[in-house]
Amino acid sequence: MARNPRITFIGAGSTVFMKNIVGDVLQRPALSGATIALMDINPQRLEESAIVVNKLIATLGVKAKAETYSDQRKALSGADFVVVAFQIGGYEPCTVTDFEVPKKYGLRQTIADTLGVGGIMRGLRTVPHLWTICEDMLVVCPEAIMLQYVNPMAINTWAIAEKYPQIKQVGLCHSVQGTAMELAHDLDLPYEEIRYRSAGINHMAFYLKFEHRQPDGSYRDLYPDLVRAYREGRAPKPGWNPRCPNKVRYEMLTRLGYFVTESSEHFAEYTPYFIKDGRPDLIEKYGIPLDEYPKRCIEQIEHWKGQAEAYRSADRIEVEQSREYASSIMNSVWTGEPSVIYGNVRNNGCITSLPFDCAAELPCLVDASGIQPTYIGDLPPQLTALIRTNINVQQLTVRAMITENREHIYHAAMMDPHTAAELDLDQIWSLVDDLLAAHGDWLPAWARARKKTQAA
């Protein structure tokens, strides 16, 4: 009899996300008998997640089974796929620290989970734990594929590839397919009729092609339509979040000639152009949602209280297909049926204009042989130049962790486009000192605050 896959969730207390992935998995016949191993350090969230999985299994009438663990290595034992989704330090205290300390220097952020001083600090907190997962995987499931959904995605993917190159891993985000859906909606076109090709780095990849299939089977470039719709005020259309009008990306389209895959609220803090002290006109013109991520955290925490109770009392949990790639990857690896996903992997020369060792986001073929990145070549020079400004920060953050050299944390902040546009060198050094002190034991021992560091 054919073996069923074992799928381990590390950070299974991210219940809504876990529910979406498990719901997708259990609707695929080849995966519907899977053992779902749930691991989390929070017993209450773990119990809530187990309730949800068991109700999904009952609703769908499949032969899957759920197991719960508080021990990471036991949960990983024998896994075929490892889904990772956690936030070290949570909203409180760590996200609050990442926003409030920079504000004392006049440095304001929107999301702070990918780049900037917030992204650097999140990377320093997160990567050491990802490395412990890699260490356990090498002992108890060395052939498993890690599907990594944790931010800062590019820093994480790079750091894993650097220290544990033998781990099979892919960083996954839904911004590529999500943004394509938004753009189709802006142009009143069915998403199923859109064809695109995207490449770059996580949260700063660009659609190199964005086209609409015509009745005769040919394809038409949609970039002129997007620019026209923006200039005529027809795009962007209102989205799910009224605080985030999505104007930044359309403005960048008119300047670069290409549309970026991650949201305007993210992109505003990856560049030096939009958030400037003393320029409220820019915040107003482009609808920049300052402090957006803390607001979302508070809303999600509040929403989850009611959601958890509803799941606990529900007889059935209805399942809709999500837009995440995880189940598609598992199905292709398990059955050999090919699929194409957008994944974050070590570049290895796929994008020839970016560093060989950086974490690139690009189309990957998935089949029984695993995840196989496709060749892109050179990106347009203006895209390469902008992406490199972000890679500089990622590279120095990874280098700090690999070498345990604290000085590179300061260098990473110094190279950050938004931070450098707002603060002078003394302020940057002092801000990093303050962040390291504020985060304390959430950071690895080598990175924790010492006496004030002076610039050489």
List active site positions: 174
- Please give the Cα distance from 52 to 31 (Å, whole number): 18
Q: How far is CA 348 from CA 87, 241, 357, 365, 397, in A?
A: 28, 37, 6, 15, 19
Whether 59 contacts 317, CB under 8 Å: yes
DSSP letter string, 352-375:
TTS-TTSEEEEEEEEETTEEEEPP
Query: Any idea what DSSP says for residue 380?
Result: P
What backbone torsions phi and psi does residue 76 show, to the nearest 5 degrees?
A: -80, -20
Q: Which residues contact 165 (CB under 8 A, 6 or more apart)?
A: 346
Whether 156 contacts 201, CB under 8 Å: no
Residue for token digits 């027809």? 234
Please, what is the end-to-end C-alpha distance for the chain in angstroms?
A: 66
Q: Which residues contact 357 (CB under 8 A, 6 or more apart)?
A: 158, 161, 162, 346, 347
Q: What H or E segment, with its residue span, contains residue 124?
A: helix 116-140
Q: What H or E segment, with its residue span, contains residue 296?
A: helix 292-313
- Please give the Cα distance from 129 to 89 (Å, whole number): 12
Torsion angle of C-alpha atoms 211, 358, 430, 422, degrees rounded to 10: -30
Residue for token digits 């486009």? 417
CB atoms within 10 A of CB 223: 15
Question: ω into residue 236 within 30 of 0, thus cis?
Answer: yes
- Please give the Cα distance from 231 to 258 (Å, whole number): 15
- Please give the Cα distance from 13 to 9 (Å, whole number): 9
Helix, strand and coil percent figures for the chain, each rounded to 5 = 50, 15, 35
